Amino acid sequence: MLLKEIEIVNFRGFSKKTKINLDSKLVIIQGPNGHGKTSLAEAIEWLFFGMTKRRISGEKNSMMEYKGSFGNVHSAEEIIEVSAEVQFPDGSIKELKRRGCSKDEESLQTFIDGTQADFSKLGNMDDSFYPVIAQHALQDFINCKPKDRRDEISKALGLEEITLFKTTLDNARRLYCDPLGLDTGYV
C-alpha cells in the first residue's frame, strides 16, 4: 500500500487545509521542532486507525491528557478531517477519509471513494501496520533477544508461515536425524 497524497484539515498542528504530495519512491520529512512532523505522522495513524499509539498509551495512563487532542487548538472549527489517495498492490487507487468532531470521538466517520465504509474491508489493519514506530518501541526492539527481534522482522515482512515451517523442519531434523547420526544437509 502506497500513500500518494494526504490532505489534512484542522488536525493538531494543521489549522488550514494542507495537501502533501507523497508520490515518490522516497519521502523525507524534516524540520525543526514544532513544524508538524509528529502531527503528520499522527494524522496518518488517525486516518487508518482512528487513534494513535501515543493516544492508546494515554488511555492506559491518563485519559484526560489526550482528550480532544486531535483537533487544532488555535482553530474554532471542531471538525477534523484527514484523507489520502492510496495505491494498493493490485494497482487500484482509492481515496480514504476519516472525519469527525475533535471533541466527540463517537462522531468519527470513514469513507472509501466518497462512500461511508469501514476500513477493515481493506485488510491489513493489525498492529504491525502502524506507520509510526515510537522511540521506546524502537529501543525495546534493539534491546530484545535476537530470537524475538528475528520474529518481529519476520512478522513485519509477512514471513511468519515460512519461519514456522523452518522451525518445524529443524525440530523434526533434531528429533529424527540426530539420534541416527544422519547428515541433515539433505533432509
Q: Are 33 and 41 in contact (CB under 8 A)?
A: no
| 18 has a pLDDT exceeding 90 | no
Q: Are 101 and 79 in contact (CB under 8 A)?
A: yes
Number of H helices, E strands in the chain: 6, 6
87 CB-near residues (< 8 Å, 6+ apart): 1, 2, 4, 93
Residue predicted with more confidence, 113 or 35: 113
Residue-level pLDDT at 161: 86
Residue type, 184: T
Residue-level pLDDT at 80: 84
Q: What's the average model confidence in pLDDT over 111-130? A: 73
State pLDDT tens for residues 160-186.
888 889 889 888 888 888 777 777 665
Residue-level pLDDT at 84: 94
State pLDDT tens for residues 30-70.
888 888 888 888 888 888 887 766 655 544 444 444 455 56
Residue-level pLDDT at 30: 87
Q: Which residue has the cell 488511555?
A: 59
Which residue, 98, 116, 124, is CA-closest to 42? Answer: 98
Query: Is pTM beyond 0.75 here?
Result: no
Residue-level pLDDT at 65: 46
Q: Are 17 and 9 in contact (CB under 8 A)?
A: yes
Q: Domains of the chain by range and CATH?
A: 2-124 (3.40.50.300)
Q: Are 84 and 101 in contact (CB under 8 A)?
A: no
Helices 160-172 and 146-156, axial angle in degrees (round to 10) = 130
Residue type, 78: E
Q: What's the average model confidence in pLDDT over 112-136? A: 69
% of the chain residues with pLDDT over 90? 15
Q: Which residue has the cell 498492529?
A: 127
Grid coordinates given for 181:
547420526
Mean pLDDT for all residues in the chain: 78
For residue 9, with 0-12 CB atoms within 10 Å meaning exposed, 13-18 middle and 19 or more buried, which class applies?
A: buried
